Copies of this chain bind each other. A is one copy, B any other.
Amino acid sequence: MAKKSAQVQSVRDAFRVLPESFDLAGLDPAAAPVGPKSKAEAAADMVEVGAQLDDLQEALYAEGTGGGRRSVLLVLQGMDTSGKGGTIRHVAGLVNPQGLHIASFKKPTAAERRHDFLWRIRRQVPAPGMIGVFDRSHYEEVLIARVDGLVPAAEWRRRYELINEFESELVGSGVTVVKCFLHISPERQKERLVARLEDPAKRWKYNPHDIEVRAKFSQYRSAYQDALVKCATPVAPWFAIPSDRKWYRNWAVARVLLETLQEVAPVYPEPSYDPLVELARLREADPLR
């Protein structure tokens, strides 16, 4: 895998949010700065990515069973229809589900709201050996909370720093944090909302409130701009993924996750027993031979 790292590294760099220059409004949601030029090319690469992800996930899981403390957390954020669910299906779906911990953060319940805003998030941090996936996250607390004025401005303004401290603490405890913003255009969102309404098997994904949220597309863009810039830290980077084309989005997130795992470089634990002794026990002293 080492020989591929130069090529692979460039995928993450192509999408990395650089706080000093990042401009969400100027970012093309249909861009393809790197990687496959067609759905077929992407599909072919996904086979390779899937095999590598699967291997690395198994090693991470094994490392965890051997006392390793490391895990990976993939945070997914994006407007309605940007494809958080589809990304989970097609990217997280590439690895053994036993090594996944998926958490969806809906509107906080009354019980959750009585706690600090990070309380319910902390409870879902992936255990050692696991790949955690957050479908929405603590970032909602500087997105909808800001756009809908759910808390005073002084409160959400304070949260960027609290989030950075929280993520830094996670990283310190062995969690590799990788955050992907799925960037979709308002035009593509409209197409997808229409598609949801036209297909009886997709209507459950639609909520009339989606139109109210959509009306605030530009306010959300501002809120995302700030969240990404203020919380794209060296230890917990943000990646802005062009998501108007589903196949490109899936490919990009998969490659970003793969690179992350390659950097983590999980290792199979050394056995706490002597394999040769055990082979001899099994072969020569096996009670059932």
- Residues in A lying within 8 Å of B, measured CB to CB: 58-59, 62, 65-66, 85, 88-89, 92-93, 96-98, 100, 102, 104, 135, 186, 190, 193-194, 197-198, 200-201, 203-208, 211, 214-215, 217, 268-269, 271, 273, 275, 278-279, 281-283, 286-289
Contacts and interface: CB of A to CB of B under 8 A. Distances in A.
A74 to B, nearest CB: 12
A99 B275 CA distance: 38
A63 to B, nearest CB: 8
A76 to B, nearest CB: 11
Contacts of A190: 282, 286, 288-289
A20 to B, nearest CB: 30
B102 A281 contact: no
Going nearest first, the 8 A-B pairs with the smallest beta carbon separation are A215-B287, A62-B204, A203-B271, A89-B96, A97-B97, A186-B288, A197-B275, A208-B273
A97 B90 CA distance: 9
A1 to B, nearest CB: 14
Contacts of A211: 278, 281-282, 286-287
A200 B268 contact: yes
Contacts of A282: 190, 193-194, 197, 211
Contacts of A89: 96-98
A287 B193 CA distance: 14
Nearest to A270: B203
B93 A88 contact: no
Contacts of A281: 208, 211
Nearest to A90: B96
Contacts of A58: 201
Nearest to A207: B273
Contact of A204 (B193, B271, B279): B271
Contacts of A194: 279, 282-283
Given A93-B97, A203-B268, A204-B268, A214 B88 contact: no
B278 A208 contact: yes
Nearest to A214: B288
Contact of A98 (B59, B135, B201, B279): B135
Nearest to A280: B197
Nearest to A201: B268
A87 to B, nearest CB: 10
A207 B215 CA distance: 58
A176 to B, nearest CB: 19
Contacts of A279: 194, 197-198
A85 to B, nearest CB: 6
Contacts of A193: 282
16 contacts: A92-B97, A92-B98, A98-B104, A98-B135, A194-B279, A197-B278, A197-B279, A203-B271, A203-B275, A204-B268, A206-B278, A208-B281, A211-B286, A214-B287, A214-B288, A217-B288
